[in-house]
Amino acid sequence: MAFTYYLLQIPQLLFFVLIISFGAFCAGLATYLFRKYIRIKVLRSHNEVTGFLFMAIASFYALLLGFVVFVVWGQLNETQSNVSLEGSSAMGLYRDIKFYPDTSNSKKLMTVYFDFVFNVVNEEIPNMAEMKPSRKTAESFSKVFYEMERLDPKTPFQVQLVAQMFKHLNELAVYRELRTSSIEAEIPPLMWLPIIVGAIIVLICAMLVDIEHTRMHIGLNSLLGGFIGMLLFIIILLDHPFTGSLSIKPKSYMQIFTQEQWDNELSHKLKK
């Protein structure tokens, strides 16, 4: 389990303040110690070259961070899209089962299906927030396949409806697999190495720029460190789509229970 996951267990606002403060403190302290203990006489005479190199290195580092943010943002959008498609398939399957002619097998299928939906909402998604699998949900999903195979369609309409049910069920299986596998799609630990080393190199270059006023130099570098910390916060937050304040919720699955309530109320009114 990634170290960044544990960081997201901290309240999001507090974590935001801490990572910015940490970046600003480290940059400011490093600049203070550099100005106090390291004396390089040629700094001012080479300020133009140093400033040019600093701008070049900072630009490449900004490009690296932009690329990482683009990747994790794309993964988040893709995961949200897959979850939406999964929810659509789940709702379509519910309607197919709901309007299948009343038989003992179809009623049992609906019971098993609701058990699966309940497990997704109350166990699988919360487990994914902790980056853990859900065996209970997988077992209940297999039962849906088993009960659907036991349906015995008699009329052409029922045969067509069962075929549609299997279509939605297979789509649901595909999108659910994409969702569950997305908890492993995080930034590899090796990828964090250039991100951290790049931040250190940028801060070193910022310290080599000769600014006459010591406090201004420390303040500017502290702002730079805080800004880098803010970008790292965004990357960490987007890297775990089911954890933190931006976590994906199973709204479509929860809508199935609401739809069932509405359908029962409508059925009761029509019978009057």
Q: Is 54 domain-assigned?
A: yes
Give the residue carrying structure tokens 């940028």: 202
List, for residues 127-158, the tens digit of each pLDDT value: 888 778 788 888 999 998 888 888 878 888 88
CA nearest neighbour of 237 among 15, 49, 17, 36: 15
Specify the number of domains making up the chain.
Answer: 1
Q: Is 270 domain-assigned?
A: no
Measured distance CA(180)–CA(175) in Å, rounded: 9
- % of the chain with per-residue pLDDT over 70: 90
Q: Is 272 domain-assigned?
A: no
List, for residues 166-205, the tens digit of each pLDDT value: 899 999 999 999 888 887 777 887 888 899 999 999 998 8
Q: Is 21 domain-assigned?
A: yes
Q: Is 236 domain-assigned?
A: yes
Measured distance CA(29)–CA(39) in Å, rounded: 16
Q: Is 271 domain-assigned?
A: no
Local confidence band at 71 (pLDDT 50, 70, 90 cut-offs): confident
Mean pLDDT of 30-48: 73
Q: Is 41 domain-assigned?
A: no
Say which residue, 208 or 244, is predicted with more confidence. 208
Local confidence band at 57 (pLDDT 50, 70, 90 cut-offs): confident
Going from the C-alpha of 238 to that of each of 5, 111, 143, 232, 263, the distances in angstroms are: 11, 36, 34, 10, 37
CB 187 within 8 A of CB 235: yes
3-class SS at 101?
A: coil
Q: Is 269 domain-assigned?
A: no
